[in-house]
A and B are shown apart, each in its own frame.
Chain A
Amino acid sequence: MSQITTEKYKDEAKRAIKNPVLQDALSNLQERLGKGAVEAYKNLPEGHRLRIEAHDIRMNAIENLDVLLKSLAENVRRNGGHVYFAEDALSAVSHCLEIARKHNVKTAVKGKSMLTEEIGLNRSLEAAGIEVVETDLGEYIVQLAGEHPSHIIAPAIHKTRKEIGKLFSEKLLIHYTDDPPALTRAARKALRDKFLAADMGISGCNLACAETGHITTVSNEGNIRMSTTLPKVHVAFMGMERVVAGLNDYDVLFRLLPRAAAAQNMATYISYIGGPCHKDQVDGPEEFHLIIIDNGRTKILADEEFREILCCIRCAACLNVCPVYRKIGGHSYGYPYCGPVGSVVTPLLVGINRAKDLCLGEMLCGACKEVCPVNIDIPKMLLGLRAKLADGDRKWNVTRASLVEKALYKTWSWLIRNRWTYDLFLRLAYFSQKFLPQKGGMIRRLPPPLHGWTGKRDILPISIETFKQRAKRINLNP
């Protein structure tokens, strides 16, 4: 399992906000990719309608997962591949280790995959004495630095080119440079040797097609294609939800995915991988293994309220527009999945109480839903998670997050039930606010638990006359 540090959300967020380099990087990312995605959608002849269609395609797949996965497995096997259904992270990792042992694997090259982050694959392989090399440039940087990705598709977004230059000069033993093409060349050179030496190629899976038994990967660097064709064994990891019925569905989803993820009309490499190399083919692995992972997804599938999040195709478009992600970056979320989608997926996977700050520390602004290529209603699910924290939930094993808050809202619901009590409360508040420091007609400091407001903001005091009183007065003196 990946390390879970969701409890540190607040502290990590504060740290990220104070890091000006990170702030610049995040702003640039959003200016480029977030705004780019919105523009890229505009070029679609179907416009907004395509996102709705994509949602239907994904929802249809999610609701027929049993049939689709069965059909996918049958077709992959018919193509000569092996399929393994893993219930949890441990089982998936053990299966991969078994394959590695069978083939006496010393080095594995990897295409970028968040799912393998989720199951902590690299650590387990390394513990078994296998050298694992990330081949996506961003992932490679993060791996060399001993860190975790901070974005679903731009994993090293938190690092500056100076930091990368220093890292490469230490780890790759080259002369220091912060010139991006030179650094890329250095990484390419180092990786080329690894590609050629690798006994195993590991990849994720953007989507799988049940009808044909293909898995499909999308990349811009060509590294996934090399990872999956050069070594003699290819092991692909796939979340059980990443399947669609047929190639017609691909048409819609693969037009949207590159637009959402990188503001591109088309990704540079879209690979359809349908099993091992056949006799009449020149390239390809001798063995193809597909590991389909549950790891908590069945539980999400069983809950109608959250099922929709399984439609996600991990394009990261929601990260690229989220005002909160823009400030706190990916590491604050404490789990491989960050941003708005992480705020829903992570609590459902690691425990709602444990990741409560992810559910509460978002704003429900709705920008994520607006940009999502499969139109997932993320704010609605955040509200659903908050409801579980507010009153507890047996099915998800959630305990009430705060008794004090519950009491406050209970009192509030009692106050607003009757205009008379409400007015009385406002009068009391009006008189007590006189004890608070004020300047220029604005309150400078509020008492706990409201003091968070006045750290950097003032607030207008309660008016001497409410609108209700004013309405009465206007009526009396027209």
Chain B
Amino acid sequence: MITKYSTTQSRKAGFTRPSKKLNLMHNKNVTLFIQCLIDCLYPDVGEAVVHIFQKLGLTIIYPPDQTCCGQPAFNSGYKKEAKVAAKRFIRIFENADSIVCPSGSCVNMVRNHYPQLFRNDRKWFRRALSLSKKIFELTEYLVDILGVEDIGAGYHGKITYHDSCHLLYGIGISNQPRKLIRSVKGVQFIEMKDSDRCCGFGGAFSIKYPEISTAILEEKVKNIIDSGADAVVGCDIGCLMNIHGMLSRKGSPIKVMHIARLLAG
């Protein structure tokens, strides 16, 4: 079963007019892959993604059978188990025009690791390779594919940005989110020190080696606090969950926000 959203009505519902830069691709369907952590912990982020695409007048397809891309198992070395998830993902998404996911590490997994995972299996390799070419991270899809930098969102406050590692080093995304943040009306954008240094999440690493993980995170959190921003924005919920966890423990008022929520605002 596939859920489709009507997007024509949302336009009428009084959204701000998108900027001139907007290059709408009316015929294009966008298929959503909502990462598992967003699905169960931060569903607001998924909803924000829906709002953004509705605002841009795109047809959204959400395959409700989706679960996980397999990254947790893959990163821990459990390739057999990761393959189960990967094959399932390929079956569900391979007929999509373009798949958009609000998580850089999942896109990195599908784009860069799926073909590697199936390198000894010609049939699945071909399917993985073809899929790897049509999955995009949210900000990459907005800026590079749609050519949109201003979605007409507004936010009053100082924002800093954290570069997630797989997003930055894995799929090379760094300017796109910055362009989008800068174009949000009312935002004062501040670069924190070492925005491109890892936050210490590392998946299972954060649980297996908590002392190292939190030592790294302490420094990230310090850089966020020192930046003077009142909100930290990122594109990967894993990192944001990590940062959110420590800011909350420290009782800090700094907000942690996925970029989709900022852009939908």
Chain A contacts of B3 at CB under 8 A?
471-472, 475
A435: shortest Cβ distance to chain B, in Å? Answer: 18
Contact of B211 among A13, A460, A472 (CB under 8 A): A13
Residue A452 CB within 8 A of the other chain: yes
Q: Which residue of B lies closest to A38 (CB)?
A: B196
Contact B67 A422, beta carbon cutoff 8 Å? yes
The CA-CA distance from A370 to B9 in the complex, in Å, is 46
Q: Mark A110-147, 1 if CB is under 8 A from B, else 0.
A: 00000000000000000000000000000000000000
Q: Does B248 contact A (CB under 8 A)?
A: yes
- Bound Cα distance from A87 to B242, whole angstroms: 47
Query: Which of chain A's residues have a CB closer than 8 A to the CB of B39?
Result: 466-468
Please determine whether B245 and A457 come into contact, CB atoms closer than 8 angstroms. Answer: yes
Q: Are B245 and A363 in contact (CB under 8 A)?
A: no
User: Of the 9-residue stretches A69-77, A216-224, A231-239, A322-330, which lies at the interface with chain B?
Assistant: A322-330
| A351 vs B204: C-alpha distance when bound (angstroms) | 22
* Number of residues of chain B lying within 8 A (CB) of chain A: 70
Q: A450 contacts which of B6, B76, B207 (Cβ < 8 Å)?
A: B207
B77 partner residues in chain A, CB cutoff 8 A: 383, 385-391
**CA separation between A412 and B81, bound complex, in Å?**
8
A386-B76, A387-B77, A426-B40 given as contacts; is B214 within 8 A of A367 (CB)?
no
| Stretch with Cβ within 8 A of A (4 or more), from B21-29, B139-147, B152-160, B162-170 | B162-170
A472 in contact with B169 (CB, 8 Å): no
Separation of A470 and B41 alpha carbons in the complex (Å): 12
Q: Is the C-beta of A10 less than 8 angstroms from some C-beta in chain B? A: yes
How many angstroms between the C-alpha atoms of A460 and B116 in the bound complex?
Answer: 33
CA distance in complex: A171, B84 (Å): 62
Q: Are B73 and A458 in contact (CB under 8 A)?
A: no
- How does the 8 Å CB contact mask read for B69-106 relative to A, with 1 for contact and 0 for none? 01011111111110011001000000000000000000
Most central of A365, A385, A471 by chain B CB within 10 Å: A365
Q: B212 near A328 (CB under 8 angstroms)?
A: yes
Cβ-defined contact, A363 with B165, below 8 A: yes
Given contacts A419-B66, A457-B214, A467-B34, contact A361 B166 (CB under 8 A): no
Residues of B within 8 A of A419 (CB): 64-67
CA A389 to CA B204, docked complex, whole Å: 15
By a CB distance below 8 angstroms, the chain A residues around B70 are 416
B129 part of interface (Cβ distance < 8 Å): no
Q: Is the CB of B217 within 8 A of A457?
A: yes
Please tell me if B62 contacts chain A, counting CB pairs below 8 Å.
yes
The one of B64, B68, B210 that contacts A453, using a Cβ cutoff of 8 Å: B210
Instruction: Please determine whether A460 and B241 come into contact, CB atoms closer than 8 angstroms.
Output: yes
Stretch at the interface among A91-99, A100-108, A155-163, A403-411: A403-411
Residue of B nearest to A368 (CB): B169
- Per a CB cutoff under 8 Å, which of B34, B38, B241 touches A459? B241
* Also in contact, A327 and B215, with CB within 8 A (given A413-B84, A453-B210, A470-B46): yes
A80 within 8 A of partner (CB): no
Asked if A270 lies at the interface with its beta carbon under 8 angstroms from chain B, I say no
Can you list, as one digit per residue, whether each of B243-260 has a CB less than 8 Å from chain A (1) or not (0)?
011101100000000000
State whether the Cβ of B15 lies closer than 8 Å to any Cβ in chain A: no
Q: How far is the CA of A14 from the CA of B212 in the complex (A)?
A: 7
| Also in contact, A413 and B73, with CB within 8 A (given A327-B216, A365-B165) | yes
CA distance A457 to B70 in the complex (A): 25
Q: With the chains together, A322 CA to B118 CA distance in Å?
A: 29
Contacts of B206 in A (CB 8 A): 452-453
Q: Give A9's nearest chain B residue, CB to CB.
A: B209
Determine if A294 is an interface residue (Cβ-Cβ < 8 Å). no
Mark B156-186 against chain A: 1 for CB-CB distance below 8 A, else 0.
Answer: 0000000001101110000000000000000
B200 and A387 within 8 A (CB): no
Question: Are B241's CB and A362's CB within 8 A?
Answer: no
Q: Is B85 a contact partner of A452 (Cβ separation < 8 A)?
A: no
Output the least CB separation between B248 and chain A (Å). Answer: 4
| Contact B197–A367 (Cβ < 8 Å) | yes
CA distance A326 to B65 in the complex (A): 42
A residues in contact with B196, CB < 8 Å = 367
Is A366 a contact partner of B84 (Cβ separation < 8 A)? no
Chain A residues in 8 Å Cβ range of B50: 471, 474
- B-chain residues with CB within 8 Å of residue A474 when the two chains form the complex: 5, 47, 50
Do A366 and B166 have beta carbons less than 8 Å apart?
A: yes
- Interface SS of chain A: helix, strand, loop or mixed? helix
Distance of A294 from chain B, by nearest CB (Å): 28
Question: What class of interface size applies to chain A in its complex with B?
Answer: 35 or more
Judging by beta carbons under 8 Å apart, are A406 and B78 in contact?
yes
Whether the pair B46, A471 counts as a contact (CB closer than 8 A) is yes
Is A45 an interface position by the 8 A CB rule?
no
Given known pairs A453-B207, A475-B5, the reply for A463 and B74 (CB within 8 Å) is no
* Interface residues as binary, A361-383 with B (CB distance below 8 Å gives 1, 0 otherwise): 11111110110000000001001
By a CB distance below 8 angstroms, the chain A residues around B209 are 10, 13, 360-361, 452
Closest residue of B by beta carbon distance from A15: B211
Contact B214 A390 (CB under 8 A): no
B201 beta carbon closer than 8 Å to chain A = yes
Kindly list chain A residues whose C-beta atoms are within 8 Å of the C-beta of B215.
17, 327
The residue on A at minimum CB distance from B207 is A452
Nearest chain A residue, comparing its CB with the CB of B13:
A478
How far apart are A389's CB and chain B's nearest CB, in angstroms? Answer: 6
A456 within 8 A of B: yes
Give Cα A416–Cα B245 distance, bound, in whole angstroms.
25
**What's the nearest-Cβ distance from chain B to residue A328, in Å?**
6
Which of the residues A361, A364, A458, A461 comes within 8 Å of B75, measured between beta carbons? A364
**Across the interface, do A449 and B65 meet the contact criterion of CB distance under 8 Å?**
no
In the assembled complex, the Cα of A460 lies from the Cα of B209 at a distance in Å of 20
Chain B nearest CB from A446 CB (Å) reads 9
Proximity bits, A408-440, B CB within 8 Å = 1, else 0: 011011011101001000100000000000001
Give the residue among B42, B116, B205 with the most A Cβ atoms within 10 A.
Answer: B205
A323 and B197 in contact, given A457-B246, A470-B43, A478-B9 (Cβ under 8 angstroms):
yes
- Say whether A181 faces chain B, with CB atoms less than 8 Å apart: no
30 example contacts (A-B, Cβ-Cβ < 8 A) are as follows A323-B197, A323-B198, A361-B208, A364-B75, A365-B202, A367-B197, A380-B116, A390-B77, A391-B77, A409-B73, A409-B78, A412-B73, A413-B84, A415-B67, A416-B85, A419-B64, A419-B65, A442-B248, A452-B210, A452-B213, A453-B206, A456-B214, A463-B40, A466-B40, A467-B40, A468-B64, A470-B46, A474-B47, A474-B50, A475-B4
Known contacts A463-B43, A478-B6; 16 additional CB pairs below 8 A are: A13-B212, A327-B212, A360-B205, A365-B198, A366-B169, A369-B169, A412-B72, A413-B80, A416-B68, A452-B213, A453-B245, A457-B246, A465-B43, A466-B43, A467-B39, A478-B5
